[in-house]
Amino acid sequence: MIIFPAIDLKEGQCVRLLEGRMDSATVYSRDPGGTARNWQEQGASFIHVVDLDGAFAGKPRNREAIRQILEAVEVPVQVGGGIRDLETMEELFSMGVNRVILGSAAILKPELVAEAGRRYGAKVLVGIDARDGRVAIQGWGETVSKTALQLAREVKELGVQRIVFTDIRRDGRLSGPNLGATGELARDSGLKVIASGGVSSLEDIRAVKALEKDGVEGAIVGKALYTGAVKLPEALALARGGV
């Protein structure tokens, strides 16, 4: 199982939000590149980056911070937030981004998801963010009628192989991930799933790892790393099969 340290960018700074609310941002670092380097030095094999401003604006707003991260590390980096066209994807790939994550576009522009899948294959993921089971888009500001499972099945038909699933109610609360919904989504969709939102302890990571048999292949960890509730080397050892 892969542990993805999360770097959420707001105005060039590394922050964490509570349930996706921009007015709840806590700044943890003003050095995105240094933060990424720190996670790499502690053993991270993949970095997860979200352009929060981009998610709300509908186009990337933190290119310079993303560039700093890419220059600071050698491990692969996946980026989401405000990616709504092929030109933006091409720009990010040319900068050195390994994978891009489409969010609102999966609802607003399914034809883009299909074309991106044809062009870039496994380099394109879809982020499915759910509030009480329903999909949230536009920086989590709008909830639509479609369920997470309905959207997962639709993007699979479009050629997507892997999704990032976030339960918004758990995000930033250190209350534990929604294991039931995550496992069910993986089993019922047949997609590879990266769990996101709420990881607060090594016990949570152990619980997510138990879902590997269902198709859950990783966990994104944010606030718990920044507060010290979870130590990255310990999380990585557990994810590799330790106890």
| pLDDT tens digit at each of 243 positions of the chain | 999 999 999 999 999 887 667 777 899 999 999 999 999 999 999 999 999 999 888 889 999 999 999 999 999 999 999 999 999 999 999 999 999 999 988 898 999 999 999 999 999 999 999 988 889 887 556 787 899 999 999 999 999 999 999 988 766 556 688 999 999 999 999 999 999 988 999 999 999 999 999 999 999 999 999 999 999 999 999 999 865
Provide the whole-model pTM: 0.94
Out of 51, 53, 129, 204, which one is annotated catalytic? 129
- CA–chain centroid gap for 15, Å, is 14
CATH architecture of 2-239: Alpha-Beta Barrel (3.20)
Which pLDDT score, from 0 to 100, does residue 104 have? 87
Contacts of 96 (CB under 8 A, 6+ apart): 70, 77
Query: Does the active-site annotation cover 8?
Result: yes
State how far the alpha carbon of 43 is from the alpha carbons of 70, 105, 189, 218, in Å. Answer: 16, 32, 31, 15
| Domain assignments of the chain as residue spans, ordered by start | 2-239
**Residue type at position 94:** S
Residue 48 Rama label (left phi>0; alpha psi -120 to 50; beta): beta
Our CA angle for 170, 15, 155, nearest 5°, is: 55
Query: Does the active-site annotation cover 53?
Result: no
Q: Long-range CB contacts (< 8 A, 24+ apart) of 29-36?
A: 31/68, 32/7, 32/65, 32/66, 32/68, 32/69, 32/72, 33/65, 33/68, 33/69, 33/71, 33/72, 34/72, 35/7, 35/69, 36/7, 36/68, 36/69, 36/72, 36/73, 36/77
Distance from C-alpha of 98 to C-alpha of 107, rounded to nearest angstrom: 23
